[in-house]
């Protein structure tokens, strides 16, 4: 029957089907967003059901035999436009991956992650990993099952990595991390022997409302479109989107730590600008989606670090900040402020880590996840393994689980293989920023005037508008002329910290 239909008719059916699935998925995303921002505790149980039902429906529709036939038929047609063909190829790839999981398995995973998330919250309240341990064990069993169902070469963890970063493997990451580990370790050592930086003033008293207002001002200034998104509070800052015209970000505000709110706002704004820049005409289709999590993170980290921790940008933003907090910052020079916000100090919490020690937090999680998925470490041994590695790699003593292995939300969501994308993001960010500076005349001068529009324009043109058309490496090659090259990141860090610490 399909054979009698024209390619454009069939493509129309495909688009309608994909967009209907997107309606279900993004409705689930609204419920998920609500779960992490406003849901009252007693609502958690039914919410878990609702989320499970929606994710099951979306999965069923996408993996239905009709979807497969439609995609196979379209794949064989030769009169599609380039964009249409790319969408079909990517959807068929997704279909072949997804259909390896039964609806029952998807439902079990969704229910488990809702339970796991709430147990994680309880474990944090009681500051006890033992509370979290049974649900986490169950989650890891499911992730191993998922890896087996998905299939992999060489290492089961590859199957999980691939879901976040297509093409990423244990052997690739082992190599990348081994290239950065030594130079970063040496930089940390040089810094610890250098002149100490005072950042005490960042932890004075910064009233919550004023911080919130300043954060909102920053977000707007960086280009976040409030007609197409909003910001709220949550335990763990995140970005989610329901389409490129509705992007949600969250932050947390700590009265005694100005940094926490500020750089989480800038970070999530980086994610949001990417989502707001994806082509709306491809709603529900691959070309309307982000390229990979590594690329997503490159956007957040570019804004957070390459802009949000740069001397140039704060030249114009800092006087404004001083006028909001005259008592706290009036007597602090821009020079001292710049050094303080870039202070390097190995610490306990990943999301608060500086740009140098940050990657050790990621490498510890990466090594730990590999072991858990291989089955070479039991869940009950996580706290001891964690604490031992924080002592060895970062030289810090973990006082309790909340500031140790309970700090991240990821495992409770079942996100194993996610952390490495944070480091990849920083590495890509440095390379993208170097390319933008090369290609856009006067880019640094405009940043110095607090005007980041030329940078956003470059990102829109080179990264955002392409959606999932290219893989991370293709996107990197097209926009910078090279595939991922760690020397951009290392060069950027060494330059910056040489200047700050004056070795
Ligand atoms: Zn991020």
pLDDT digits (tens, 9 = 90+) for 419-440: 999 999 999 999 999 999 999 9
pLDDT of 2 over the 60 cut: no
Which of 120, 151, 182 lies at the terminal end of a domain, its last residue? 151
pLDDT of residue 289: 97
Average pLDDT over residues 469-491: 96
Tell which of 97, 121, 151 closes a domain: 151
Residue 430 domain-assigned (yes or no): yes
**pLDDT(114) > 90:** no
Cα–ligand 1 centroid distance for 409 (angstroms): 13
Composition of the chain by helix, strand, coil, percent to 5? 70, 5, 25
Dist. CA 88 → ligand 1 center (Å): 29
Residue 313 and residue 395 share a domain: yes
Mean pLDDT across 328-353: 95
One domain for residues 204 and 320? yes
pLDDT tens-digit series, residues 69-96: 999 999 999 999 999 999 999 999 999 9
Same domain for 145 and 191, yes or no, is no
User: Could you tell me the residue range of the domain that residue 66 belongs to?
Assistant: 7-151
Same domain for 378 and 235, yes or no, is yes
Q: What are phi and psi of 294, to 5 degrees?
A: -60, -40
Classify residue 267: in a domain, yes or no: yes
Ligand 1 centroid distance, CA of 264 (Å): 9
Question: What's the mean pLDDT in 464-470?
Answer: 97
Is residue 80 domain-shared with residue 29, that is, in the same domain? yes
- What is the full DSSP assignment across 293-312? HHHHHHHHHIIIIIITT-HH
CA of 193 relative to ligand 1 center, distance in Å? 31
Question: How high is the pLDDT of residue 3?
Answer: 62
42, part of any domain: yes
CATH of the domain at 205: 1.10.1370.30
Whether residue 351 is predicted with pLDDT greater than 90 in this model: the reply is no
pLDDT beyond 90 at 56: no
Can you give the pLDDT at residue 503? 63
Question: Do both 140 and 208 map to the same domain?
Answer: no
pLDDT score for 274: 98
The pLDDT confidence band at residue 20, using thresholds 50, 70 and 90, is very high
Condensed to tens digits (0 to 9), the pLDDT of residues 389-418 reads 999 999 999 999 999 999 999 999 999 999
pLDDT at 400: 96
Per the domain annotation, does 139 fall within a domain?
Answer: yes
Here the tokens at position 237 are 């800052």
Catalytic residue status for 9: no
For residues 137 and 222, state if they share a domain. Answer: no
Q: How far is the CA of 270 from the centre of ligand 1 (A)?
A: 8
Residues 20, 68, single domain; the answer is: yes
Alpha carbon distance 162, 155 (integer Å): 11
Measured CA to CA in angstroms, residue 48 lies from 105, 131, 238 at distances of: 15, 19, 19
Averaged pLDDT for residues 324-343: 96
Q: Please, which residues have CB less than 5 A from ligand 1, an ion?
A: 300
Q: Could you tell me the two tokens for 120?
A: 């994680």
Q: Residue 234 Cα, ligand 1 centroid: separation in angstroms? A: 14
C-alpha span between 320 and 210 (Å, rounded):
13
Ligand 1 centroid to residue 1 C-alpha, Å? 46
Same domain, 121 and 188: no
More confident residue, 246 or 235: 246
Q: Is residue 162 part of a domain?
A: no
If you ran DSSP here, which 8-state letter would residue 257 be given? B
Query: What is the spatial distance between Cα 55 and Cα 413, in angstroms, rounded to a whole number?
Result: 14
Amino acid 390: pLDDT: 97
* 145 lies in the same domain as 182: no
Specify whether the CB–CB gap between 329 and 321 falls below 8 A.
Answer: yes
Tell me the pLDDT tens digit for each residue of 285-296: 999 999 999 999
163 domain-assigned? no
Examine the pLDDT at 99 and tell me if it is beyond 80: yes
Q: What digits encode the pLDDT tens for the residues 186-212? A: 999 999 888 889 999 999 999 999 999
CA of 488 to the centre of ligand 1 (A): 20
Q: Are residues 451 and 344 in the same domain?
A: yes
Q: Is residue 31 part of a domain?
A: yes
Q: What is the mean pLDDT of residues 340-348?
A: 95
Which of residues 93, 118, 151 is at a domain's end?
151
Would 25 be classed as within a structural domain?
yes
Active-site hit among 56, 146, 268, 297: 268
Sign of CA dihedral 36, 39, 41, 44: negative
Task: With a cut of 60, say whether residue 221 has pLDDT above it.
Answer: yes
Name which of 119-133, 147-161, 189-203, 204-218 the model is least confident about.
189-203
CATH number at residue 97: 1.20.58
Mean pLDDT score of the chain: 95
Tally of domains in the chain? 2
CB 192 within 8 A of CB 396: no
Q: Which residue has the higher pLDDT, 501 or 103?
A: 501
Instruction: For the chain, give the percent of residues with pLDDT over 70.
Output: 99
Does residue 211 sit in the same domain as residue 310?
Answer: yes
């Amino acid at each position: 029957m399909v054979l009698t239909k024209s390619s454009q008719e069939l493509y129309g059916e495909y688009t309608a089907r994909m967009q209907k699935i997107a309606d279900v998925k993004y409705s689930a995303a609204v419920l998920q967003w609500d779960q992490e921002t406003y849901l009252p505790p007693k609502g958690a149980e039914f919410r878990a059901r609702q989320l499970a039902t929606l994710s099951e429906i979306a999965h069923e529709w996408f993996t239905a035999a009709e979807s497969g036939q439609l995609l196979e038929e379209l794949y064989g047609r030769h009169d599609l436009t380039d964009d249409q063909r790319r969408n079909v190829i990517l959807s068929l790839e997704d279909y072949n991956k997804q259909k390896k999981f039964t609806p029952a398995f998807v439902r079990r995973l969704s229910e488990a992650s809702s339970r796991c998330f709430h147990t994680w919250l309880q474990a944090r309240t009681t500051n006890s990993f033992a509370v979290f341990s049974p649900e986490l064990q169950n989650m890891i069993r499911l992730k191993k099952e998922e890896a087996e169902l998905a299939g992999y070469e060489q290492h089961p963890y590859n199957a999980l990595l691939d879901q976040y970063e297509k093409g990423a493997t244990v052997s690739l990451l082992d190599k990348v991390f081994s290239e950065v580990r030594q130079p970063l370790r040496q930089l940390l050592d040089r810094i610890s022997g250098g002149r100490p930086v005072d950042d005490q003033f960042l932890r004075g008293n910064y009233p919550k409302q004023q911080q919130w207002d300043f954060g909102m001002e920053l977000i707007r200034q960086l280009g976040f479109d409030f007609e197409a998104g909003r910001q709220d509070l949550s335990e763990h800052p995140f970005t989610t989107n329901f389409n490129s015209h509705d992007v949600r970000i969250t932050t947390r505000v700590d009265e005694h730590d100005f940094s926490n709110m500020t750089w989480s706002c800038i970070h999530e704004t980086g994610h949001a600008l990417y989502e707001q820049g994806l082509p709306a005409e491809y709603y529900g289709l691959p070309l309307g989606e982000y390229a990979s999590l590594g690329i997503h993170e490159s956007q957040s980290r570019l804004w957070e670090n390459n802009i949000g921790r740069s001397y140039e940008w704060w030249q114009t933003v800092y006087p404004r900040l001083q006028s909001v907090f005259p008592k706290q910052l009036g007597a602090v020079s821009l020079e001292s402020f710049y050094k303080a916000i870039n202070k390097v100090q190995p610490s306990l919490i990943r999301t608060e880590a500086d740009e140098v020690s940050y990657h050790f937090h990621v490498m510890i999680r990466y090594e730990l996840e590999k072991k858990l998925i291989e089955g070479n470490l039991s869940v009950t041994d996580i706290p001891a393994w964690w604490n031992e590695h924080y002592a060895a790699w970062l030289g810090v003593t973990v006082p309790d689980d909340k500031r140790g292995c309970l700090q991240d939300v990821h495992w409770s969501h079942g996100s194993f293989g996610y952390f490495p994308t944070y480091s990849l993001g920083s590495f890509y960010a440095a390379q993208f920023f170097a390319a933008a500076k090369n290609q856009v005349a006067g880019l640094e001068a405009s940043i110095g005037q607090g005007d980041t529009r030329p940078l956003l324009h470059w990102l829109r043109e080179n990264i955002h508008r392409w959606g999932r058309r290219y893989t991370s490496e293709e996107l990197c090659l097209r926009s910078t002329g090279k595939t991922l090259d760690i020397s951009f990141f290392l060069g950027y860090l060494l330059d910056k910290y040489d200047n700050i610490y004056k070795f």
